[in-house]
Structure 1
Amino acid sequence: MFSSLSKTLLRRPLFLPTTLRLISTATAASNRTSFAFSYLVNSCGLSPESALFVSNRVTFETSARPDAVVNVFESHGFSQSQISGIIRKWPPLILARPERTLLPKLKYLRSVGFSGSYLAQMITFAPCLLTRSLEKHLIPNFSRLRDFLGCDKSAVTAIRRSPRILLQGFEGTVDRVVKILRDSGVRESSIMWLVKCHFRKLMKSHDHLKKIVEKTKGMGFDDPSAAKFAVAMLAVLGMSESMWERKLDAYSRWGWSKDDAMSAFVKRPWCMTLSEEKISAVMGFFVKEMGLESSFLLRHPTLMSLSLEKRICPRCMVFKHLSSHGLMKTKFCLTTLLTISDKDFLVKFVTPHIGEAPELLDIYREKKHMAMGALVP
């Protein structure tokens, strides 16, 4: 009986072929995963953890397609770290068809103004842009944004600062925000500026944008069509109540009351967008170095927004030098000295006095170069 059973089993191996097939399939899959893992680590610079994550989602047995993808990115100026970041964020791109999926879109984006490092940065931030249809998504949505802002350059600036515009589409992003702002009475030029330069903040707060508009009106900005309303709205939108209080405290340390700070805010909304450190540094310079009362800045809050290192300090040092040497023949308003262009400043305050004070240009240059982290040649 045993002999008969043995022969039967030998003639009819009921489970062995299935088992072998499973083992063979598992081995092949393991080999593919192992090859992909090695390639991602050695050729793309991924960490072992990231390579394992990607190789569990895409597998390949040869390097032909991945090499072609990597070559496309490298030829467009992407660094290895950017390429590895793209693959980590969107694994299927490592197996994309360059001629069909990558090259037409990269060529179009470069043609409208995304070139060099800007293109690489945007794709690294949002690699799934390369999975969107060129004809049905990228071109029509870029075109709508360009038509709204007036030129390719402005559209590129807006997308660089907020890639979600191109990723999610004009209708799902810009259209929604613009409608709220228009209905609230914000002037068109201000809306265009907000979309171009600060859309990420607007999109982040889309759900309560109407409340932000109303809150801004209640802080002394009655006319939404005024140019400064958009800046005030950004200040309100970008700060929590606790941050707002900390900035009021920063001004109070230099003698301003809460009403003073709010009055300055209504005059020049930018003064409440400054960091606490910038508030303290500018106030300290005018009070300690220039010997002015803090009320001077309350009358001229525009000066708070100027660069301390690149403008206020260099120009004020020239002003002090001229005054101490009796070279200020004409009485000038300090605000004029600080707000005119660099060219006009040199013409009015430096060039006319070079003969009497040849060191004046060196003083100005030294402060300017120190601010830019460079040495005077």
Structure 2
Amino acid sequence: MYSLILHGRRLQKWRHAVNLVLNDYAFSVPNVFSSLSNSFSSASVSSLQDGLKGNNFTVSYLVDSLGFTTKLAESTWKKVTSEPKGNPDSVLNLLRSHGFTDSHISTIITNYPRLFILDAEKFIAPNLKFLQSRGPPTSELTEILSKVPKILGMKGDQAVGRYYDFIKDIIEADKCSKYEMSCLSLPEGTRQENIIRNVLVLRRLGVPQKLLFSLLVSSSHIVSGKERFEDSLKKIVDMGFNPNSSKFVEALRIVYQISDKTIEDKVNLYQKLGFSVEDVWEMFKKYPFLLAISEKNIMNSFKTFMSLSFTRDEFVRMVKHCPQSIGLSAELVKKKTEFLMKSRICSLEDVVSNPAVFGYSLEKRIVPRCNVIKALMLKGGGIPSVGYILVCRDEVFLNRYVRKHDDKELVAELMAIFTGEGAS
């Protein structure tokens, strides 16, 4: 089966590293986790006191204290405060009271903003209390939890303690001049031994720390296996995935969780829809989740595009260019296609050439931009390409079609249309 996927460029140095690590339990690992072990620093009393005097969870706090850009701060603030039951201020104050500095909090917000919509007293406080009861230094506790904040949102002391210990063991492994299981006093053949061993393999391949930790707290338990982990990892390396990218981890997760038979069935289904085997694996490299989509949803997606007057060849072209198109809601695909056709700003062929438009928000991106273009058309303007209208960032769009006009009244009118404050 997997002879089909070896058409890509072999990444020899990664494959060699996989075999080297998997076949040898004792080898040198200088500074593999130095970024972890060297980063532990004590949170001073004065720093904690300053933190308690700081702002609440506001855009200005994110910008002034944590160094976020205004755009990122506004986006993060909206994401966190949109949850009715959430109270980010209580989470923020709880973290500060336990010695988390602004630097720690910035890392947590960036990596796991969901923590700030959890109930501080119901979930986070009990986990902090449990971990503190085990006696770790504050500097160790805050550093580990800021790197893997998802631990604070877990349920049950056993799960919280287990994942915390995984991270701690990884740090301990880095203190050995040679990586040997005996240096950690781990029982041979245990799940914990497998995790440490597999984590080291991934680090040696170049998987970033952030992605590595996301695997450790994954519910799929990818890094706790042995033979299946080794087999899945070799397949992903053979496909040519870059270990530095998030797609490497996504692909590893998919291949680990899905049987060879299921993968083969999916490939056969895509072939029936008009894709070649090579097409499927190229799309998988762009969008690993492609093979996790159910056969029912794949067929529903195909039927949806056919019902909108796209041909089979056009469907294949779109999905090859933008594989995410096949996993979108049928209702949204219909709404977006119908709106674009009625707007008379683009044709079906324009959509086929720019399938990424299906991933854009109808209300926040497609409608306001098309309304601006329609207003310009009524004043004698031409119709620009869909790529120029929808693919660019908001700032580029505004500079290109709104702010460039000398007529200030026209600029104000177009801006009102863009923001939804004026009629189109």
Structure 2: which amino acid aligns with 1:334?
Answer: V
Between stretches 334-343 and 169-178, larger displacement belongs to 169-178
Q: Which residue of 2 aligns with 1:283?
A: 337
Say whether residues 1:273 and 2:330 are aligned partners: no
1:252 to 306, 314, 319: 306
Taking structure 2 as the reference length, what is the TM-score of the superposition?
0.53
Q: Which amino acid aligns with 2:360?
A: L
Partner of 2:292: 237
Query: 2:278 maps to which residue?
Result: 222
More helix by share: 1
Task: Report Cα offsets for 1:73-99 as digits up to 9, x if no partner.
Answer: x9588734436998xxxxxx9988822
Identity %, equivalent residues: 17
User: How far apart, in 2, do the equivalents of 1:282 and 1:108 lie?
Assistant: 45
TM-score normalised by L of structure 1: 0.58
Deviations 1:179-204 (A, max 9, x none): 12233xx2222894334456554433
Task: Name the CA distance, whole Å, in 2 between partners of 1:195 and 1:126.
Answer: 31
Compared with structure 1, are the counterparts of its residues 286 and 174 closer, same or farther at alpha carbon in structure 2 (3 Å cutoff)?
A: farther
Find the partner of 2:145 among 95, 110, 113: 110
Q: Does 1:204 pair with 2:245?
A: no
Conserved 8 A contact 1:217-1:223: no
Residue from 318, 321, 336 that aligns with 2:372: 318
Q: Offset of 1:274 from its aligned partner? A: 0.9
Q: Structure 1: which 5+ runs fail to align? A: 1-70, 87-92, 368-377
Listed as ranges, the gaps of 5+ residues in structure 2 are 1-93, 101-114, 170-183, 185-191
Q: How far, CA to CA, are the matches of 1:342 and 1:317 in structure 2? A: 14
> Partners of 1:235 and 1:225 in 2: how far apart?
10
How many Å apart are 1:352 and its aligned residue? 0.7
Q: Report the CA distance between 1:271 and its aligned residue.
A: 1.3
Alignment of 1:18-167 (within 5 A): 75=98, 79-82=120-123, 98-100=133-135, 106-107=141-142, 109-110=144-145, 113-115=147-149, 118-121=150-153, 123-124=154-155, 127-131=158-162, 133=165, 134-135=168-169, 136=184, 137=192, 145-159=202-216, 162-165=218-221
**1:49 maps to which residue?**
none
One-letter code aligned to 1:239? S
1:182 correspondence with 2:237: yes
Cα 1:292–1:345, aligned 2, differ >3 Å: closer, same or farther? closer
Go from structure 1 to structure 2 and tell me whether the alpha carbon gap of 1:204 and 1:141 turns closer, same or farther (over 3 Å shift): closer
Classify 1:259/1:348 alpha carbon distance in 2 versus 1 (closer, same or farther; 3 Å).
closer
Q: 1:366 to 1:148 in 2, by over 3 A?
A: farther
Decide whether aligned partners of structure 1 residues 225 and 306 sit closer, same or farther in structure 2, where only a CA change above 3 A counts.
Answer: same
Letter in 1 for 2:123: Q
Question: Is 1:337 the equivalent of 2:389?
Answer: yes
Change (3 A) 1:119 1:267: same
3-state SS, counterpart of residue 403 of structure 2:
helix
How far 1:124 moved relative to its partner? Answer: 3.0
Name the residue aligned to 1:194: 247
* Corresponding residue number in structure 1 for 2:33: none
Q: Could you tell me which residue of structure 1 aligns to residue 180 of structure 2?
A: none
Cα distance between partner residues in 1 of 2:291 and 2:129:
43
CA distance, structure 2, for counterparts of residue 126 and residue 325 of structure 1: 66
SS in 2 for 1:320: helix
Paired AA for residue 348 in structure 1: R
Name the aligned partner's letter for residue 210 of structure 2: K
User: How many residue pairs are counted as aligned between the two chains?
Assistant: 278
CA distance in 2, matches of 1:195, 1:216: 24
Partner Cα separation in structure 1 for residue 287 and residue 268 of structure 2:
10
Assess if the C-alpha contact under 8 Å between 2:211 and 2:246 holds in 1: no
Q: 1:65 is matched with which residue?
A: none
Residues 337-356 of structure 1: pairs in structure 2 closer than 5 A: 337-353=389-405, 355-356=408-409
**Deviation by residue 1:234-286 (Cα, 9 ceiling, x = unmatched):** 2232222x222211221122112344323322232221121112211111111
Residue 188 of structure 1 aligns to a residue in which SS?
Answer: coil
Greater Cα shift, 300-309 or 337-346:
300-309
Question: In the alignment, residue 229 of structure 1 is paired with which amino acid?
Answer: F
Kindly report the root-mean-square deviation, in angstroms, between the aligned alpha carbons of the 2 structures: 4.2
Q: Distance in 2 between matches of 1:190 and 1:341?
A: 29
Secondary structure in 2 matching 1:250: helix
Aligned to 2:28: none
CA contact (8 A) 1:177 1:206 kept: no
Q: Corresponding residue for 1:34?
A: none
Distance in structure 2 (CA, Å) of the matches to 1:190 and 1:278: 34
After superposition, the Cα gap between the structure-2 partners of 1:201 and 1:332, relative to the gap in structure 1 and judged at 3 Å, is: same
